[in-house]
Every structure is written in structure tokens, then in C-alpha cells.
């Protein structure tokens, strides 16, 4: 990876909203510290990605345009690898930086490895313990570990996982997660758009529940059961409201509209910009989510989180007391909701906890480690 007497060149690959949120601070820090930085978007997400490209003022140097309606992970991977092969051959960076566990990230790691280009993995070392859950993310991140040269672990727990799998200690940096960098940056000035501000005002005086659910393993009966429990919970208590930014995936939209459409004090929203999402998090009483990113974001605002998944690769949130792992049972979700409503001891205790995933300086640590290594 060495490039003696020349500025190092780093290509940064992303294709989904979470990847961009977490890599934007790294891109900014890399440019600030003199790294020749090339940005590559796979466009695995399109409509979801664009508002964040604008919000973070990211210039896209190369767009792979892999998005197709109804695409499978194999569709994304095959197109991304083929198109990355041409881009990386042209750019020839010292390092390709990928983030997390998406199909885009795995495709990037494979393409770079096959071209003899170093791979850096942001958010390395997360494991759920189940190869097929979340699918395909759990296997994606395990495979990326085998391909990566530099590993940026958010926590010491992630570092220990990597070491146990045979990764050299010298190639691991514990950096925190740069999602906290982005969160703190936007939190300073975040204001909801006019329509959302009116909604927040109209639900003032209620205990707002913020819901996000979109993961593939939640599709079908699991999601239907959870949404029915939430509908009944809201309908039976006049001091509650539910705000649900609905993912554009048809598997989510169809069931959301069917079960929650037209219900009093339930608001189905279009996908939100980052400032809008932060405003909703801040104004929530409780968050219910199957998102990994939300597990990292909620603690910064002292917001309690019910994780509607069978497992989590972020046990730090549970261990810190800011999140509870519900499992994939709607009956269990009902019990957790009723307990939170009847006894706010846990909800109040979360306000005092620090975010276990970072302090807002993760991007700087990542870039300085890269500079030491290439």
C-alpha cells in the first residue's frame, strides 16, 4: 500500500444511506489531512442517497449506477464488481475504504483485493453469531474481514472479536463509529422541515414512539405482528402517538399502509433527511427499531430503544442499558411496551448514559491510522 514521497490516494466507496452518513466525516477528515480522496458511489440506493449527498456536500467522482428495480444481492454484487474493476484500474488508489456490511462494501473488497489494492474496513468486527441473521449482512462483514488489510473497530469488543479471528493487532484501530461524528455535527443545527415541525407541534403532549423497520429478516409475519401490536398499543392509550418514516421497499410500504394506514395518532411519513430524523429522535419518548444505525444513534440523545430483532451485533448498547433486545416475537414486543409505559424507571435511566459507540472524533482517528499505514 506504500506510495513513497507522494500524497496517499484513498478511494472511498458507498452506495447506501447508512454508508454515506458514516463515511462523510472520514472523507472530510481525509481531505483536511492531505489525502488525495476519490469518491465512488455504487448507487445501491438512489432516491434515499441523494438528500444525504446534498446534506454532506459530497462530490461523486465515479457513479457505478448499479440500482435496478427488484434487484437481488447477487445482481448488485456482480454489477458493482465489474464496474469497480474498471474504475479502480483507472484510479489505482493505495487503499479502498469500505464501510459496514452492505453488498456494495463486499463487492468493493473483492474488486480491490483482486486488483492488489489495499482494503480498509470501517465498522469492522461486528458479529451477530448467526451466519444467516441478519442476511446477507452478517456473512458480508465476515468475508470483508478476510479481505481487508486495515480494520477500524468501533469498540474494544469489536477489536477482541477480530483478534479472536486471527486479525493482526497491528492492523486494528479502535476508533469509535463515525456515525456519532455525523450525528453531533448535525445536532448543532438540526431543524425539522416545515411540515415535520407542524407534526411535532401537533403531537406535543403525547408520548411519541418513533418506529423504523426495514430489514429483510423482518419482512412478512414478523413485521405484520409487530405493526399490529403497535397499532393496538396506540389505539388503547390516548396519550401516545406513533411516527413511522416508511422505507420505500414495497415489502415495507404495503404492510405499513395495510395495518397502520388511517389509524388515529399514527403518522406514516416519507423517508427523512438527516436533520429531520434527528429532530424526531430528539422528540421521541421511545424508539422501536430493527436498524443497526439507530442502535448507535439513540444513545447520543439519551433515548431508550427496543430492538425488534432476534440478535444484535451491537451488544454494547444493551450492556450500557440504553437498548433492550426484544427478539422476533410480537408478544415480547407487547410486553416491553407495556412495561415501559407502566414504569418509566428504565426510560429515565437512559438519559444518564454515555454513547458507547463514540465521542465524535472517530473520523480523525481513522484517517491518522491510514496515514501511519500507507
State the catalytic residues. Answer: 101, 123, 137, 214, 216, 247
Closest residue by Cα to residue 313 from 137, 103, 168, 106: 137
DSSP 8-class letter at 353? P
DSSP 8-class letter at 223? H
Q: What does the alpha-carbon distance between residue 362 and residue 223 come to, in Å, rounded to a whole number?
A: 34
Q: What does the alpha-carbon distance between residue 305 and residue 289 come to, in Å, rounded to a whole number?
A: 7
Half-sphere exposure of 93 (CA within 13 A, CB side): 27
Q: How far is CA 31 from CA 12, 22, 37, 235, 370, in A?
A: 12, 16, 6, 51, 13
Q: What does the alpha-carbon distance between residue 165 and residue 327 come to, in Å, rounded to a whole number?
A: 27
Q: How far is CA 346 from CA 12, 271, 369, in A?
A: 40, 29, 38
Classified as helix, coil or strand, 216 is helix
Classified as helix, coil or strand, 78 is helix
Q: Which three cell numbers stand for residue 98?
A: 469500505
**Dmax (CA) of the chain:** 68
φ and ψ of 15, to 5 deg = -155, -10
DSSP secondary structure string, 138-152? HHHHHHHHHH-SEEE
Angle, helices 274-282/194-202, rounded to nearest 10 degrees: 10
Half-sphere exposure of 197 (CA within 13 A, CB side): 6
- The CA-CA-CA angle for residues 31, 32, 38, to 5°, reads 0
Identify the helix (H) or strand (E) that includes residue 334: helix 330-342
Amino acid at each position: 500500500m506504500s506510495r513513497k514521497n507522494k500524497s496517499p490516494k484513498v478511494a472511498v466507496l458507498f452506495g447506501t444511506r447508512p454508508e454515506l452518513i458514516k463515511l462523510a466525516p472520514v472523507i472530510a477528515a481525509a481531505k483536511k489531512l492531505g489525502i488525495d480522496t476519490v469518491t465512488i458511489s455504487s448507487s445501491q440506493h438512489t432516491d434515499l442517497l441523494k438528500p444525504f449527498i446534498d446534506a454532506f456536500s459530497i462530490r461523486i467522482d465515479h457513479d457505478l449506477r448499479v440500482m435496478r428495480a427488484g434487484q437481488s444481492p447477487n445482481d448488485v454484487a456482480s454489477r458493482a464488481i465489474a464496474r469497480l474493476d474498471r474504475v479502480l484500474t483507472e484510479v489505482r488508489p493505495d487503499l479502498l475504504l469500505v464501510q459496514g456490511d452492505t453488498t456494495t462494501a463486499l463487492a468493493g473488497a473483492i474488486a480491490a483485493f483482486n486488483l492488489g489494492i489495499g482494503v480498509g474496513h470501517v465498522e469492522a468486527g461486528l458479529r451477530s453469531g448467526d451466519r444467516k441473521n441478519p442476511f446477507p449482512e452478517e456473512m458480508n462483514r465476515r468475508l470483508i474481514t478476510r479481505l481487508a488489510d486495515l480494520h477500524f473497530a468501533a469498540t474494544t469488543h469489536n477489536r477482541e472479536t477480530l483478534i479472536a479471528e486471527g486479525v493482526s493487532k497491528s492492523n486494528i484501530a479502535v476508533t469509535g463509529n463515525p456515525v456519532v461524528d455525523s450525528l453531533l455535527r448535525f445536532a448543532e443545527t438540526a431543524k425539522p422541515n416545515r411540515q415535520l415541525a407542524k407534526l411535532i407541534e401537533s403531537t406535543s403532549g403525547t408520548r411519541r414512539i418513533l418506529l423504523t423497520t426495514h430489514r429483510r429478516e423482518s419482512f412478512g409475519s414478523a413485521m405484520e405482528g409487530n405493526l399490529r401490536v403497535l397499532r393496538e398499543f396506540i389505539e388503547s392509550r390516548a396519550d401516545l402517538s406513533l411516527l413511522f418514516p416508511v422505507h420505500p421497499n414495497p415489502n415495507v410500504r404495503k404492510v405499513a399502509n395495510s395495518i397502520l394506514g388511517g389509524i388515529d395518532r399514527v403518522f406514516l411519513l416519507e423517508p427523512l433527511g438527516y436533520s429531520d430524523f434527528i429532530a424526531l429522535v430528539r422528540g421521541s419518548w421511545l424508539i422501536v427499531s430493527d436498524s443497526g444505525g439507530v442502535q448507535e444513534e439513540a444513545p447520543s440523545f439519551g433515548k431508550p430503544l427496543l430492538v425488534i430483532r432476534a440478535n444484535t451485533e451491537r451488544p454494547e448498547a444493551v450492556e450500557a442499558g440504553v437498548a433492550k433486545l426484544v427478539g422476533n416475537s410480537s408478544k415480547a414486543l407487547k410486553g416491553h411496551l407495556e412495561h415501559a409505559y407502566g414504569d418509566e424507571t428504565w426510560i429515565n435511566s437512559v438519559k444518564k448514559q454515555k454513547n458507547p459507540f463514540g465521542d465524535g472524533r472517530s473520523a480523525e482517528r481513522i484517517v491518522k491510522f491510514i496515514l501511519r499505514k500507507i
